């Protein structure tokens, strides 16, 4: 069996971050797609962890782990977002990201895209999102992908799930993106454009 899925894990100062949530997602995905129940211990699987700095660890797997790649990580802030309708499904973290890459390459003038499904906001191309309104952080109830940082912040009651429209995005007091690598990042003065497509 070829690797079909992947996880991206932040390594910070020799420590694998949020590993519990990555293992939970791997378990759910392997059960749903391959009917496998065995637990994969990522701490035992990932060797030669750098002791200093921040690194992106990419784990490719299906029935088992097939490849692990570790590279230095540097956060790049994104400011301009195009809100556009999405007509694809990405509920599992597939290695094949061609639907997402197609949209991304089609609109190079924007730092990133925010996908809309059934008139509700979901995710950017690489991150879950949140808006701050009425003294609380809200995140889309039905994202394209249930990210590990999103799951952690929901469990800690920092985020609340809610249906979010594009109007909510434009009216929000604050806007943030989150994923396993960047953590939770509030974007200063984000710029939103609603696509006509």
Give tens-digit pLDDT for 103-147.
Answer: 999 999 999 999 999 999 999 999 999 999 999 999 999 999 999
44: Cα within 13 Å, side-chain hemisphere = 4
In the chain the first and final C-alpha atoms are separated, in Å, by 38
- Residue 103 to residue 98: CA distance in whole angstroms: 9
**What is the predicted pLDDT for the residue at 197?**
53
Rounded to 5°, angle at Cα 129 from 146 and 162:
75
* 84 neighbors 144 (Cβ within 8 angstroms): no
pTM here is 0.94
Q: Would you tell me how many other CB atoms lie within 10 Å of the CB of residue 127?
A: 24
Q: What does DSSP say about strands 112-117 and 80-85: parallel, antiparallel, or unpaired?
A: parallel
CATH superfamily placement of domain 80-194: D-amino Acid Aminotransferase, subunit A, domain 2 (3.20.10.10)
Q: Would you tell me how many other CB atoms lie within 10 Å of the CB of residue 113?
A: 22
Structure token digits, residue 7: 């996880």
For 5-72, CATH number? Answer: 3.30.470.10
- Residue 184 to residue 178: CA distance in whole angstroms: 4
CATH 3.30.470.10-classified regions of the chain: 5-72
- Angle 19-34/148-155 helices, nearest 10 degrees? 120
What is the pLDDT confidence band of residue 48, given thresholds at 50, 70 and 90?
confident
CATH 3.20.10.10-classified regions of the chain: 80-194
Each residue of 29-67: b (16+ CB within 10 Å) or e? bbeeeeebeeebebeeebeeeeeeeebbbebbbbeebbe
Provide the 8-state DSSP code for 32: H
- Residue 130 to residue 161: CA distance in whole angstroms: 9
pLDDT at 79 over 70: yes
What percent of the chain is modeled with pLDDT above 70?
99
Arithmetic mean of pLDDT over the chain: 95
């Amino acid at each position: 069996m070829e690797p079909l899925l992947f996880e991206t894990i932040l390594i910070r100062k020799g420590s694998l971050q949020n590993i519990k949530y990555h293992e939970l997602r791997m378990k759910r995905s392997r059960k749903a797609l391959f009917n496998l129940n065995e637990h994969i211990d990522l701490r035992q699987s990932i060797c030669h962890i750098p002791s200093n700095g921040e690194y992106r660890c990419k784990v490719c797997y299906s029935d088992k782990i097939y490849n692990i790649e570790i590279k230095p990580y540097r956060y790049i802030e994104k400011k301009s977002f195009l809100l556009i309708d999405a007509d694809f499904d990405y509920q599992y973290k597939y290695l094949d990201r061609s639907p997402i890459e197609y949209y991304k390459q089609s609109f190079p003038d924007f730092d990133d895209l925010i996908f809309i499904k059934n008139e509700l906001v979901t995710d950017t191309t690489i991150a879950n999102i949140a808006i701050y309104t009425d003294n609380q952080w809200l995140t889309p109830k039905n994202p394209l992908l249930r990210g590990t940082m999103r799951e952690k912040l929901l469990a800690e009651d920092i985020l609340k799930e809610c249906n979010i429209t594009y109007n909510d995005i434009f009216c929000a007091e604050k806007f943030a993106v989150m994923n396993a690598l960047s953590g939770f990042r509030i974007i200063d003065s984000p710029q939103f454009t609603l696509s006509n497509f």
